[in-house]
Amino acid sequence: MAIQTCPKCGARNRVNEVVALANKPICGKCGASLDANTGGKPEVVSDATFTQDVIADSSSQPVLVDAWAEWCGPCRMIAPLLDQLAAESNGRYKIAKLNVDENPRTSAQFNIRSIPTLLIFKNGKLVDSIIGVQPKQAIAARLAAQI
Protein backbone atom coordinates (compact mmCIF):
# COMPACT_ATOMS: atom_id res chain seq x y z
CA MET A 1 0.00 0.00 0.00
CA ALA A 2 1.19 3.48 -0.89
CA ILE A 3 0.12 6.77 0.65
CA GLN A 4 -1.01 9.39 -1.87
CA THR A 5 -1.90 12.95 -0.98
CA CYS A 6 -5.00 14.32 -2.66
CA PRO A 7 -4.13 17.28 -4.92
CA LYS A 8 -7.47 18.96 -4.11
CA CYS A 9 -7.96 18.68 -0.35
CA GLY A 10 -4.59 17.43 0.91
CA ALA A 11 -6.04 14.31 2.55
CA ARG A 12 -3.72 11.32 2.76
CA ASN A 13 -5.09 8.15 1.13
CA ARG A 14 -3.93 4.55 1.21
CA VAL A 15 -3.75 3.26 -2.36
CA ASN A 16 -3.25 -0.36 -3.35
CA GLU A 17 -0.89 -0.11 -6.35
CA VAL A 18 -2.15 -3.33 -7.95
CA VAL A 19 -5.80 -2.27 -7.80
CA ALA A 20 -4.84 1.26 -8.94
CA LEU A 21 -3.51 -0.14 -12.22
CA ALA A 22 -7.00 -1.36 -13.14
CA ASN A 23 -9.14 1.34 -11.47
CA LYS A 24 -8.33 5.01 -11.08
CA PRO A 25 -8.03 5.78 -7.36
CA ILE A 26 -10.09 8.59 -5.86
CA CYS A 27 -9.77 10.54 -2.61
CA GLY A 28 -11.80 9.10 0.25
CA LYS A 29 -12.52 12.58 1.62
CA CYS A 30 -13.45 14.73 -1.41
CA GLY A 31 -13.76 12.21 -4.26
CA ALA A 32 -11.13 13.88 -6.48
CA SER A 33 -9.08 11.69 -8.78
CA LEU A 34 -5.70 10.83 -7.29
CA ASP A 35 -4.37 10.43 -10.83
CA ALA A 36 -4.47 14.24 -11.01
CA ASN A 37 -1.56 14.14 -8.60
CA THR A 38 1.28 14.70 -11.05
CA GLY A 39 3.79 12.82 -8.94
CA GLY A 40 5.58 15.94 -7.82
CA LYS A 41 5.89 17.48 -11.29
CA PRO A 42 4.47 20.81 -12.44
CA GLU A 43 1.33 20.49 -14.56
CA VAL A 44 1.44 21.91 -18.09
CA VAL A 45 -1.41 24.34 -18.80
CA SER A 46 -2.47 26.06 -22.02
CA ASP A 47 -4.86 28.75 -23.22
CA ALA A 48 -7.52 26.04 -23.56
CA THR A 49 -7.05 24.53 -20.08
CA PHE A 50 -6.07 27.61 -18.05
CA THR A 51 -9.54 28.41 -16.69
CA GLN A 52 -10.17 24.84 -15.51
CA ASP A 53 -6.66 23.92 -14.34
CA VAL A 54 -5.71 27.21 -12.68
CA ILE A 55 -8.67 29.50 -11.99
CA ALA A 56 -11.08 26.74 -10.87
CA ASP A 57 -8.40 24.78 -8.98
CA SER A 58 -7.25 27.86 -7.06
CA SER A 59 -10.50 27.83 -5.09
CA SER A 60 -9.31 24.78 -3.14
CA GLN A 61 -5.55 25.45 -3.07
CA PRO A 62 -3.15 28.15 -4.26
CA VAL A 63 -1.77 27.67 -7.77
CA LEU A 64 1.63 28.99 -8.86
CA VAL A 65 1.91 29.41 -12.64
CA ASP A 66 5.37 29.60 -14.19
CA ALA A 67 5.22 31.66 -17.41
CA TRP A 68 8.25 30.53 -19.40
CA ALA A 69 9.69 29.94 -22.86
CA GLU A 70 12.00 27.23 -24.15
CA TRP A 71 14.64 29.70 -25.37
CA CYS A 72 14.80 31.57 -22.02
CA GLY A 73 17.97 30.86 -20.01
CA PRO A 74 16.62 32.19 -16.67
CA CYS A 75 13.49 30.06 -17.19
CA ARG A 76 15.70 26.97 -17.45
CA MET A 77 17.53 28.06 -14.28
CA ILE A 78 14.33 28.30 -12.24
CA ALA A 79 12.73 25.08 -13.57
CA PRO A 80 14.54 22.70 -11.13
CA LEU A 81 13.45 24.87 -8.19
CA LEU A 82 9.83 24.62 -9.29
CA ASP A 83 10.19 20.86 -9.72
CA GLN A 84 11.42 20.69 -6.11
CA LEU A 85 8.54 22.84 -4.86
CA ALA A 86 6.05 20.64 -6.74
CA ALA A 87 7.58 17.52 -5.18
CA GLU A 88 7.34 19.09 -1.71
CA SER A 89 3.76 20.39 -2.10
CA ASN A 90 1.97 17.45 -0.45
CA GLY A 91 -1.30 18.74 -1.93
CA ARG A 92 -1.06 22.13 -0.18
CA TYR A 93 -0.55 23.99 -3.46
CA LYS A 94 -0.18 23.28 -7.15
CA ILE A 95 2.59 24.25 -9.58
CA ALA A 96 1.73 24.76 -13.26
CA LYS A 97 3.77 25.77 -16.33
CA LEU A 98 2.53 28.00 -19.16
CA ASN A 99 4.67 28.30 -22.31
CA VAL A 100 4.18 31.94 -23.35
CA ASP A 101 5.18 31.31 -26.98
CA GLU A 102 2.52 28.62 -27.42
CA ASN A 103 -0.19 30.40 -25.36
CA PRO A 104 -0.34 34.08 -26.34
CA ARG A 105 -3.94 34.66 -25.19
CA THR A 106 -3.26 33.87 -21.52
CA SER A 107 0.10 35.67 -21.66
CA ALA A 108 -1.62 38.82 -22.90
CA GLN A 109 -4.50 38.49 -20.42
CA PHE A 110 -2.06 38.68 -17.48
CA ASN A 111 0.30 41.24 -19.11
CA ILE A 112 3.32 38.95 -19.09
CA ARG A 113 6.09 41.14 -20.52
CA SER A 114 9.14 39.53 -18.92
CA ILE A 115 9.96 35.90 -18.26
CA PRO A 116 10.20 34.01 -16.06
CA THR A 117 7.09 35.39 -14.39
CA LEU A 118 5.48 33.45 -11.56
CA LEU A 119 1.79 34.13 -10.95
CA ILE A 120 0.08 32.98 -7.76
CA PHE A 121 -3.70 32.45 -7.87
CA LYS A 122 -6.03 31.91 -4.93
CA ASN A 123 -9.82 31.72 -4.94
CA GLY A 124 -9.88 32.32 -8.69
CA LYS A 125 -7.93 35.57 -8.52
CA LEU A 126 -4.35 36.62 -9.15
CA VAL A 127 -2.96 37.46 -5.68
CA ASP A 128 0.81 37.78 -6.26
CA SER A 129 3.42 37.79 -8.99
CA ILE A 130 7.18 37.31 -9.01
CA ILE A 131 9.24 38.49 -11.97
CA GLY A 132 12.68 37.08 -12.66
CA VAL A 133 14.77 34.39 -11.00
CA GLN A 134 14.37 34.20 -7.23
CA PRO A 135 15.81 31.78 -4.66
CA LYS A 136 13.68 28.77 -3.78
CA GLN A 137 13.14 30.07 -0.22
CA ALA A 138 11.74 33.38 -1.50
CA ILE A 139 9.32 31.62 -3.85
CA ALA A 140 8.27 29.17 -1.12
CA ALA A 141 7.66 32.03 1.33
CA ARG A 142 5.44 33.94 -1.12
CA LEU A 143 3.52 30.74 -1.87
CA ALA A 144 3.22 29.79 1.81
CA ALA A 145 1.69 33.21 2.54
CA GLN A 146 -1.29 32.14 0.40
CA ILE A 147 -1.90 28.76 2.05
The CATH 3.40.30.10 portion of the chain extends over: 38-144
Between CA 48 and CA 39 the distance in angstroms is 23
Residues above pLDDT 70, as percent of the chain:
93
46-103 pLDDT, tens digit per residue, is: 999 999 999 988 888 899 999 999 999 999 999 999 999 988 887 789 999 999 999 9
108-147 pLDDT, tens digit per residue, is: 999 999 999 999 999 999 999 999 999 999 999 999 999 8
Position 30 scores a pLDDT of 86
CATH classification code of 38-144: 3.40.30.10
Count of CA atoms in the C-beta half-sphere (13 A) of 112: 26
Between CA 6 and CA 12 the distance in angstroms is 6
Could you confirm whether 30 is annotated as catalytic?
no
Mean pLDDT over the full length of the chain:
88
Rg (the chain; Cα; Å): 15
Residues with Cβ within 8 Å of 101's Cβ and at least 6 positions away in sequence, in order, are 69, 70, 71
The CATH 2.30.30 portion of the chain extends over: 1-37
pTM: predicted TM-score of the whole model, two decimal places: 0.74
Between CA 35 and CA 56 the distance in angstroms is 18
Between CA 95 and CA 111 the distance in angstroms is 20
State the helix-helix crossing angle for 136-144 and 73-88, rounded to 10 degrees. 50
Position 37 scores a pLDDT of 44
* pLDDT > 70? residue 36: no
Between CA 96 and CA 63 the distance in angstroms is 7
Could you confirm whether 75 is annotated as catalytic?
yes
Please tell me which residue in 9, 27, 30, 72 is annotated as part of the active site. Answer: 72
Architecture of domain 1-37 in this structure: Roll (2.30)
| pLDDT classification of 39: cutoffs 50, 70, 90 | low
